Structure 1
Amino acid sequence: MDEFTPEELEEGRVLFARPATFVLGCAKIEQLPEPDLPEIAFAGRSNVGKSSLINGLVGMHKLARASNEPGRTREVNFFDLDGKMRLVDLPGYGWAKASRTTVKKFQDLGRDYLRGRVTLKRVYLLIDSRHGLKKVDDEALDALDLAAVSYQIVLTKADKLKKGEAEKVQAATLKAIAKRPAAFPAVIVTSAEKGVGMPELRAEIMRTTGATL
């Protein structure tokens, strides 16, 4: 992973300490806000910790609503970071309690967003570090490659691993995506609960969007 200077890490901290607000949730592509700010999106399996990660980035407990029911996020949710950028929470995938019709509807919405969003700078694909990449993730990786959208793997819940395990999962994940055309060649290890990797992720997002203080 690229190294970040102390200045970049501090600028990332200051940027994400600015006010963050929920803008809207979109169930149809026609409802998307005007593409007038740089956007970064978060995707991942249901229950991978997307809400916790988004909340951890901005230092707020309830900006993105976590749920004990996997697959509750069935809209594209937009959050504004002080007019500098938007954080976008994409519908989770891989949940078992929804009908195939429902699953397809919200997966298609996510794909439509990925294909047509000119201000989308990168998708951060969250993977549970305890499990690594699974077969259910292949469809998401294929969709991102097909849409030619730059994406980066973020491993979540690293605090649940034994010492040294996170580095092994990180290396295995990097090897698995090495030949994927749209994958950014760095994997960030995080724990929203313990704050691990969050300064680096903030700096990465700031670098990716070109946002300034």
Structure 2
Amino acid sequence: MTDSVKTEAELQAEAIETARVLFARPVSFVMGAVSVDQLPSDELPEVAFAGRSNVGKSSLINALVSHKHLARASNEPGRTRELNFFRLNDAMHMVDLPGYGWARASKVAVKKFQNLGRDYLRGRPNLKRAYLLIDARHGLKDVDNEPMDALDKAAVSYQIVLTKADKIKPAELAKVIAATQAGIKKRPAAHPIVLATSSEVGFGIPELRLEIMQTCGITL
């Protein structure tokens, strides 16, 4: 009797299920750091989430771990002004970075908390990847160039994640994905694969969990 050989689809399904199990394990809010001096120890691998202030970072983090209120979403864009750390299963950190592009704050305050995010990205040795969130309805905008320039300069690997993909038709989404891939093609630190997600309906969330698990080198 010969052993059956699993197909690529079966192996992918198993990997996605392993990632689901990981993200179903205990997760907790660790702290909100207002300076790099307050950062927790760097023994765990980390991924960070960045994006415009109204792109849905908190909703995406909540969807990944199937918690509605872990990361605090606000009706007022630009409220995240700290580096918010979440610990998953004592195996990794997820970091919610201050948003950019809009905030009801003074220019001095905006610059302060956005500089905090840049300082973190430049100096965090255990940061495995930054996920730059882009609203699928709008695609890349001029305001997104600054964080991509900063990530390229810091040589921090980053991957584009389209959010709110359920708000547009599949054909339009395909065009946005293609345009986004073309827009990052010559950027040295950008991961070439663009992921599309919807926190509201769960589209793309299993694949993003797997991407994060593999990027952090976590095995169960």
Q: TM-score, normalised by structure 2?
A: 0.94
**Could you report, residue by residue, the CA deviation over 1:17-59 in whole angstroms, capped at 9, with x for unpaired residues?**
0011000000011000010100000000001000000000000
Moved more, 124-133 or 87-96: 87-96
Identity of aligned residues (%): 68
> What is aligned with 1:24?
31
- 3-state DSSP of counterpart to 2:55: coil
8 Å Cα contact 2:79/2:103 also seen in 1: no
Q: Between Structure 1 and Structure 2, whose CA radius of gyration is higher?
A: 2
- Which amino acid in structure 2 is aligned with residue 72 of structure 1? R
- Which amino acid in structure 2 is aligned with residue 110 of structure 1? G
- 3-state DSSP of counterpart to 1:212: coil
- 3-state DSSP of counterpart to 2:193: strand
**Could you report, residue by residue, the CA deviation over 1:89-111 in whole angstroms, capped at 9, with x for unpaired residues?**
00000014221111110111001
Q: Which structure would you say has the larger RCO, counting Cα contacts within 8 Å and 6 or more residues apart?
A: 1
Looking at structure 1, the residues matched to 134 and 155 of structure 2 have their Cα atoms a distance apart, in angstroms, of: 20
For structure 1, list consecutive stretches of 5 or more residues without a partner in the other structure.
none
> What is aligned with 1:70?
77
> What is aligned with 1:146?
153
> What is aligned with 1:196?
203
Q: Does 1:176 align with 2:183?
A: yes
Structure 1 outlier segments of 4+, above 4 Å: none
Looking at structure 1, the residues matched to 35 and 103 of structure 2 have their Cα atoms a distance apart, in angstroms, of: 22
The count of corresponding residues between Structure 1 and Structure 2 is 211
Looking at structure 2, the residues matched to 58 and 32 of structure 1 have their Cα atoms a distance apart, in angstroms, of: 22
Looking at structure 2, the residues matched to 172 and 98 of structure 1 have their Cα atoms a distance apart, in angstroms, of: 32
Looking at structure 1, the residues matched to 153 and 113 of structure 2 have their Cα atoms a distance apart, in angstroms, of: 18
Moved more, 88-97 or 41-50: 88-97
Q: Does 1:89 align with 2:83?
A: no
For structure 2, list consecutive stretches of 5 or more residues without a partner in the other structure.
1-8
8 Å Cα contact 2:103/2:110 also seen in 1: no
Moved more, 130-139 or 90-99: 90-99
> What is aligned with 2:5?
none
> What is aligned with 1:128?
135
Report how far residue 163 of structure 1 moved: 3.0
Over the residues paired in the alignment, what is the CA RMSD in angstroms?
A: 1.0
- Which amino acid in structure 1 is aligned with residue 152 of structure 2? D
Looking at structure 1, the residues matched to 107 and 25 of structure 2 have their Cα atoms a distance apart, in angstroms, of: 40
- Which amino acid in structure 1 is aligned with residue 132 of structure 2? L
Correspondent of 1:110 among 108, 117, 141: 117
8 Å Cα contact 2:53/2:102 also seen in 1: yes
Looking at structure 1, the residues matched to 63 and 148 of structure 2 have their Cα atoms a distance apart, in angstroms, of: 24
